[in-house]
């Protein structure tokens, strides 16, 4: 199986980020880089305590503007970017705009339970 | 039985908290009926500890401490907050108290939920322009959800095997 280097984007709170970590835990056969406004150290501690058995790196940025720049850098690197649920409101509009130009990305659906929406995301091999 | 109560949530979304006096009433119900109660409070919520002076309180615990603490409990009761998601992904038995937010959207797949049975034209107000201030500037989504309702549901949950919903 081809091990992919995947970027996970979640702009929401620490609780919502758990739904993204749940996705990673169920897809441990890849390597991840998380872009989140949450504190890097805190997220790394969470990854450890949840016993996620793959490499997970976390963006060191917390401010939105730097997170967006981080996403743009990953786009230039042609990395697969997954925008996990919850993905609503302004974030969704922004991501839809981005994904119009950048096809190597997956957007979680908007309506429904955030855990089930993330479970529906399929990584193509 | 051992119960953990988590009365907090993000400071900028206090309306997601079931009223603190109801948490206190619930804690007292457990003690009166010979159960054990521990209170878990986050780093931004220390002031809430003043309501629970006669209870064992854990403030700003590390993730590892929270995990160990929760593993000794029969049920954890949380608002729709980080702790609800955290304890659920650890596969612990968790009851989420839902008011303004929508359990169909955020309830962890293995967690249980309770919300008010009282009819409301506002609940849940999440995603609406008046989120958090739905009823004349006040969020009324928790109105009607009483300590006794949560107490009864919690006893029912601890007496049965896992079957989330």
Classify residue A124: in a domain, yes or no.
no
Say yes or no to pLDDT of A77 above 90: yes
Classify residue B98: in a domain, yes or no.
yes
77-106 of B, contacting A, C-beta below 8 A: 80-86, 88-90, 104-106
Classify residue A113: in a domain, yes or no.
yes
* CATH assignment of the domain containing A27: 3.40.50
Q: Which residues contact B164 (CB under 8 A, 6 or more apart)?
A: B109, B110, B111, B112
pTM equals 0.92
Spatial contact of A36 and A63, defined as CB atoms under 8 Å apart: no
Classify residue B55: in a domain, yes or no.
yes
Tell me the C-alpha distance between B13 and B24, whole Å. 20
Q: What is the pLDDT of residues B97-143, one digit of tens each?
A: 999 999 999 999 999 999 999 988 899 998 889 999 998 888 999 99
How far off is chain A from B9, nearest CA to CA, in Å?
Answer: 10
Number of domains within chain B? 1
Query: In which domain, by residue range, is B12 found?
Result: 2-117+146-158
Nearest to A44 by CA among A27, A30, A26, A32: A32
Q: Which residues of chain A lie closer than 8 angstroms to B84, CB-CB?
A: 15
pLDDT bin (cut points 50, 70, 90) of residue B30 is: very high
Query: Residue A111's closest chain B neighbor by CA?
Result: B105
Tell me the C-alpha distance between A82 and B149, whole Å. 40
Q: What is the pLDDT of residues A57-74, one digit of tens each?
A: 999 998 989 999 999 999
Query: In which domain, by residue range, is A95 found?
Result: 5-119
* CATH assignment of the domain containing B152: 3.40.50.2000
Record: contact A49-B67, CB cut-off 8 A: yes
Number of domains within chain A? 1
**C-alpha dihedral over B44, B47, B50, B53, to 10 degrees?**
30
Q: What is the pLDDT of residues A21-41, one digit of tens each?
A: 999 999 999 999 999 999 999
Cross-chain CB nearest to B106 (options A25, A45, A114): A114
Classify residue B127: in a domain, yes or no.
no
Q: Please provide residue B29's backbone torsions phi and psi, each rounded to the nearest 5 degrees.
A: -60, -40
DSSP A54-112: S-EEE-S--SHHHHHHHHHHHHHTT-EEEEPSP--HHHHHHHHHHHHH--SEEE--SSS
Classify residue A10: in a domain, yes or no.
yes
Q: Note whether B108 contacts A: Cβ–Cβ < 8 A.
A: yes
pLDDT bin (cut points 50, 70, 90) of residue B85 is: very high
């Amino acid at each position: 199986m081809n091990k992919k280097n995947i970027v996970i984007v979640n702009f929401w709170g620490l609780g919502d980020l758990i739904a993204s970590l749940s996705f990673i835990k169920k897809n441990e056969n890849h390597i991840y880089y998380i872009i989140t406004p949450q504190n890097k150290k805190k997220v790394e501690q969470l990854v450890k305590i949840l016993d996620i058995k793959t490499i997970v790196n976390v963006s060191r940025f917390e401010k939105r503007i730097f997170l967006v720049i981080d996403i743009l850098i990953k786009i230039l690197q042609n990395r697969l970017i997954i925008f996990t649920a919850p993905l609503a409101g302004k974030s969704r509009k922004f991501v839809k705009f981005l994904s119009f130009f950048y096809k190597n990305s997956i957007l979680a659906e908007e309506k429904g339970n955030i855990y089930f929406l993330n479970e529906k995301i399929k990584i193509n091999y | 039985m051992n119960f953990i109560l988590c009365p907090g949530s993000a400071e900028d979304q206090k309306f997601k908290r079931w009223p603190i006096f109801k948490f206190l009433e619930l804690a007292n119900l457990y003690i009166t009926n010979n159960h054990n109660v521990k209170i878990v409070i986050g780093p931004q919520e220390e002031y809430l500890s003043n309501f629970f002076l006669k209870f064992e309180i854990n403030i700003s615990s590390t993730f590892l401490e929270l995990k160990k603490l929760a593993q000794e409990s029969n049920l954890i009761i949380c608002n729709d907050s980080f702790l609800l998601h955290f304890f659920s992904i650890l596969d612990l038995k968790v009851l989420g108290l839902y008011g303004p937010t929508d359990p169909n959207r955020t309830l962890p797949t293995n967690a249980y939920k309770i919300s008010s049975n009282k009819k409301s034209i506002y609940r849940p107000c999440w995603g609406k322009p008046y989120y958090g201030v739905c009823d004349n500037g006040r969020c009324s989504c928790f109105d009607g959800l009483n300590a006794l309702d949560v107490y009864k549901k919690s006893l029912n949950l601890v007496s049965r095997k896992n079957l989330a919903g």
